[in-house]
Amino acid sequence: MEREYIRIKKPSPLPFDIRELKNLDDGFWKNWIFYYLLQFYKNYDSLELKHKIDEERKKQFPRIEREITKFLRLKLNADREFGFHFSAKGEVTNDESVEGNYDINIHSTNWKSKDFFFECKNLDGSQDLINKYVCYNTYKKDASDQHIFDGGVLRYFNGKYAQNLSFGGMIGFILNGDNTTLKTNLFTKLNEQLSTSPEGDLISITDNVIENNPFTFDTLHKRQHKEFKIHHLLFDFK
């Protein structure tokens, strides 16, 4: 099922010479990864995914987010063109609290940065899932009797994710709610100071960044006296 409203443009060809590949900048590689993600979103089988979500919902402890993430990884890896330069890896345990347990890690041996990490979160219009996408209080306490905070965006700033890179990614799976309102609420939450302030505090938001698609935006943050960029894609799976 092709979704005509999704804007997608194939980037400049990847060179055949491995020496040239190794000299390409991060922007070039990221554009190709965005292309494959948009291609997936434009053409995925909605009936197939809906069936997987419905089956997962029947379980006593459904993990819909994990099931959709697995579906996305499998579809990327099934694309022969994608597989020529990239591989999409993911979690290796069922324990979501394991440090470094990325939802999606897109890897290329010819890219000097090697990896593009994506954290995936469900969204349904509720404030609870908005908080989990960005940052929330787990109401658990650490050894110093301080509240432990978690959240998709926060994981890039609390020492867990992409510590040797200047960028990362978030993919939101919209399962319910109004997309425009949800995006506005995300922006509001992102403008709040994170619990580890100033680590992760927002500098700016740039909207509609990937091929001018309205379900994409970038956020620029502070991290260790440098700037860290998160690329956000919100996929509507309602």
Q: How would you write the pLDDT of the chain (238 residues) with one tens digit per residue? A: 568 889 999 999 999 898 899 899 999 999 999 999 999 999 999 999 999 999 999 999 999 999 999 999 999 999 999 999 999 998 655 444 444 467 999 999 999 878 999 999 999 999 999 999 999 988 888 878 788 888 999 999 988 889 899 999 999 999 999 999 999 999 999 999 888 778 899 999 999 999 999 999 999 999 988 999 999 999 999 9
168 — alpha (psi -120 to 50), left (phi > 0) or beta?
A: beta
Whole-angstrom distance, CA of residue 209 vs CA of residue 11 = 15
Radius of gyration over alpha carbons of the chain, in Å?
A: 18
Whole-angstrom distance, CA of residue 155 vs CA of residue 162 = 9
Whole-angstrom distance, CA of residue 57 vs CA of residue 34 = 29
Going by C-beta distance under 8 Å and a sequence separation of 6 or more, which residues neighbour residue 180? none
Tokens of 189: 């939450």
Question: SS3 of 216, please?
Answer: strand
Q: What is the pLDDT of residues 140-193, one digit of tens each?
A: 888 787 888 889 999 999 888 898 999 999 999 999 999 999 999 999 999 998
- DSSP code string of 52-84: HHHHHHTSSS--HHHHHHHHHHHHHHH-HHHHH
* Burial grade of 172 (CB within 10 A; 0-12, 13-18, 19 or more): buried
Tokens of 154: 């926060």
Tokens of 83: 């597989």
* Burial grade of 132 (CB within 10 A; 0-12, 13-18, 19 or more): buried
Q: What is the pLDDT of residues 22-36, one digit of tens each?
A: 899 999 999 999 999
pTM of the complete model: 0.93
Element (H, E) at 194: none
Q: Which candidate, 123, 145, 118, 148, places its Cα nearest to that of 136? A: 148
